[in-house]
Amino acid sequence: MPPRRRGHRGWRLAGGYLLTLAVLVHLNFLLPRLMPGDPVDALLDAQSPSYVQDGAARAELERYYGLDEPLTTQYGRYLAGLARGDLGSSIRYGRPVADLVAERLPWTVLLLGSSMLLAAAVGLALGVHSAWRRGSAADRGLLTLFLTVHNLPVFFVGALAVLVFSVELGWTPLGGTRTPFDDPANLLAAAADVGAHLALPAAVLASGLAASYYLTMRATMVGELGADYLVLGRAKGLSERRLKYRYAGRNSLLVVVTWSALRLEGLVTASVLVEVVFAYQGLGGLIFDAVSFRDYPVMQACFLVLTVLVLTANLLADLACGRLDPRTRA
Amino acid sequence: MRVRADPVVVAGAVLTLALVATAALAPAIAPYDPRALGPPLAPPSGAHLLGTNDIGQDIASQVVWGARSAVTVSLGAALVAVVLGVAVGLGSALVGGAADTVAMRVLDVFLAVPQLPLLVLVAALAGPRQANLVVVIGLLRWPDIARQVRSQARSLRQRGWVSAARGFGGGLGHVARHHLLPALGPVVVTLAVTTVAQTLLVEAGLAFLGLADPTAVSWGLMVNRALRFPGIFFIDAWRWWLLPPGLAISLGVLGFMLLGVGLEPYANPRWRRRSP
């Protein structure tokens, strides 16, 4: 096979990305229509707060949401709406879903971003340390700790964190994204307020991810320890520090970067639960509201937006991996 | 057998058995009907071992009955995931070619989707009945299993005895049943056990969001109800209302996780040599 140029890998990745995206956009359209029961059924469900048991009301609702039209017409309208950024209208708030999402998305991105940075810093550093001194008391302690944290239900951890840090110690606010009805004097005060509200949910969200980073880093690095280049480095008299971070650490990092893109899906899932515990006004909180009020357009929009977010991040991580690892450029 | 000597496996097995036994014997163990009303927010006492919630339901009985929905949904979903995952993984590895490529593309799509938002959508549309939850959670959990089974099966296919069986005229189905499945057994068992740990967490998470079978008692729903009680953290009730269901979920997941970690060396003989 002739050697391919670098650009091709990027195009191939982008092609796969678009294909996956297309499948999911269609899934988002078909799912509510293929499932037994439909949004109107659910709206008319006895458990729904908007319960109405009336044939005429049902027909009216179906006409209102355009569900009485042929599937092809609905499909065309869905795609046209999507192209204009129209995600429908919220049943609960009576506002365009796109506006709701636009208000909430920055907060979720802030939460996801800050907890990823925190988790990577803590998890990777401790993972390298643990692997380098594997078998030591510190390694065993960290391994047990992170294996446990890795499998705790994140909403329970969040509740305990509120109890300890907000109620008992009073270090952080009980929840929310910023202090309500507060008009901060300047930008700095506003940022401090946002930071104080962000700290605890981000830390809780990061704990589970840090455990994943730690476990992967440790496992990969333990595998690297016997490698020839380390033996040679040691024979050359390189410092332990250099061998640990620049040699074994850097080589293990490649595996971790590829893998961490796959973990983003799990992080989004955890963030929904964390946002609910902390009453954080991001997309997760919106999903929770949508579940309580059977607000289907909002649920669908959140699914679509979060999917696009995850897919885009995956694509970026794949492309970044190409930059980090010269071998995949070929 | 050496499996029994491993403390990790023992701890995992004890926790797992305790959970399954509680689920099976729930009507016999639970002191009260988990829905019966009594004195609200009663602290733990002889009458109510773990106290009661805001409408006076006995927490201990709810925790016991919660084990039943946790076990039903998580084992059921894991079964769906394992059957599908093994079928797709094995089939994909054996048939190869275009079918393999298509299966792998489908896997990629599944692995990239944020699962909770999708689960929420599907569970809310279909109605959160236990049977629906089992199918929905199972359908989202098979891709991991399929991928691992496929890679194992592909390496097994190259072995002499598989080629020999093919050479003697064994069909794909015969090879899969009599040669690959037995060899894959330990891998599949380990994958199944870790999958239960995951489905248990997913079930609890969905219930926490309010998507649990309204006719069953669920730990996630208990935590949800406790947290929605205004000022729960400022009264003592969190000790007996919030902690028991949260700890029950944690211990259940931990049990299956430890069992999975402990069985790993037996599924993957390469590890056995390395462990001390």
Residue A43 has pLDDT above 70, yes or no: no
Residue in chain B nearest A273 by alpha carbon: B205
Identify the pLDDT of residue B77.
Answer: 93
Beta-carbon separation of B214 and A302 below 8 A: no
Beta-carbon separation of A276 and B208 below 8 A: yes
Q: Which residues in chain A have their CB less than 8 angstroms from residue B220's CB?
A: 153, 155
Q: Is A272 on the interface with B (CB under 8 A)?
A: yes
Domain housing A228: 99-329
Question: What is the SS3 string spanning chain B?
Answer: CHHHHCHHHHHHHHHHHHHHHHHHCHHHHCCCCCCCCCCCCCCCCCCCCCCECCCCCEHHHHHHHHHHHHHHHHHHHHHHHHHHHHHHHHHHHHHCHHHHHHHHHHHHHHHHCCHHHHHHHHHHHHCCCHHHHHHHHHHHHHHHHHHHHHHHHHHHHCCHHHHHHHHCCCCHHHHHHHHHHHHHHHHHHHHHHHHHHHHHHHHHHHHHCCCCCCCCCCHHHHHHHHHHCCCHHHCCCHHHHCHHHHHHHHHHHHHHHHHHHHHHHHHCHHHHHHCC
Number of domains in chain A: 1
As given in the structure block, the two tokens for residue B80 are 């769906």
Could you read off the pLDDT of A135-163 as tens digits, one per residue?
788 888 888 888 888 888 888 888 888 88
Q: Is A145 on the interface with B (CB under 8 A)?
A: no
In a domain, A24, yes or no: no
In a domain, B47, yes or no: no
Residue A111 has pLDDT above 60, yes or no: yes
Identify the pLDDT of residue B81.
Answer: 93
Q: What is the ipTM of this complex?
A: 0.81
Identify the pLDDT of residue B200.
Answer: 92
Beta-carbon separation of A159 and B253 below 8 A: no
In a domain, A45, yes or no: no
In a domain, B44, yes or no: no
Read off the CATH number of the domain in which A311 is found.
Answer: 1.10.3720.10
In a domain, A79, yes or no: no
In a domain, A71, yes or no: no
Identify the pLDDT of residue B273.
Answer: 44
Q: Which residues in chain B have their CB less than 8 angstroms from residue A290's CB?
A: 120
The residue with tokens 């329970």 is A156
Could you read off the pLDDT of A46-63 as tens digits, one per residue?
555 555 566 677 777 777
Could you read off the pLDDT of A229-254 as tens digits, one per residue?
878 888 888 887 788 777 777 777 77
Domain housing B110: 7-20+59-274
Read off the CATH number of the domain in which B96 is found.
Answer: 1.10.3720
Q: Is B109 on the interface with A (CB under 8 A)?
A: yes
Could you read off the pLDDT of A115-128 as tens digits, one per residue?
988 988 888 888 88
Residue in chain A nearest B209 by alpha carbon: A288
Q: Which residues in chain B have their CB less than 8 angstroms from residue A266's CB?
A: 115
At residue B221, φ and ψ (nearest 5 deg) are -65, -35
Beta-carbon separation of A307 and B214 below 8 A: no
Q: Is A13 helix (H, G, I), strand (E, B) or coil?
A: helix
In a domain, A48, yes or no: no
Beta-carbon separation of B111 and A306 below 8 A: no
In a domain, B45, yes or no: no
Q: Is B261 on the interface with A (CB under 8 A)?
A: yes
In a domain, B268, yes or no: yes
Residue A18 has pLDDT above 90, yes or no: no
Q: How far apart are CA A177 and CA A173, in angstroms?
A: 9
Residue A14, Cα to own-chain centre: how many angstroms?
20
Q: Which residues contact A300 (CB under 8 A, 6 or more apart)?
A: A28, A32, A87, A88, B121
Residue B127, Cα to own-chain centre: how many angstroms?
20
pLDDT tens per residue, chain B (276 residues)?
Answer: 454 567 778 888 899 999 999 888 888 887 878 887 777 777 777 777 777 777 778 888 888 888 988 999 999 999 999 999 999 988 888 887 888 888 888 887 787 778 888 888 888 777 778 888 898 889 888 888 898 888 888 877 777 777 777 777 777 777 777 777 777 878 888 888 889 998 999 899 888 888 887 777 889 888 888 888 777 777 777 788 888 888 999 999 989 988 888 887 776 655 444 443
In a domain, A11, yes or no: no
Q: Which residues in chain B have their CB less than 8 angstroms from residue A299's CB?
A: 117, 120-121, 124
In a domain, B254, yes or no: yes
In a domain, A318, yes or no: yes
Number of domains in chain B: 1
> What's the whole-model pTM score?
0.82
Residue A224 C-alpha, separation from nearest chain B C-alpha, in angstroms: 14
Mean pLDDT over the full length of chain A = 78
Identify the pLDDT of residue B78.
Answer: 93
In a domain, A22, yes or no: no
Could you read off the pLDDT of A157-176 as tens digits, one per residue?
888 888 888 777 877 777 77
Residue in chain A nearest B109 by alpha carbon: A20
In a domain, B181, yes or no: yes
* Cross-strand bridge partners of residue B52: B58
Q: Which residues in chain B have their CB less than 8 angstroms from residue A37's CB?
A: 125-127
Could you read off the pLDDT of B163-219 as tens digits, one per residue?
777 777 777 777 777 777 777 878 888 888 889 998 999 899 888 888 887 777 889
In a domain, B46, yes or no: no
Residue in chain B nearest A156 by alpha carbon: B246
Residue A152 C-alpha, separation from nearest chain B C-alpha, in angstroms: 5
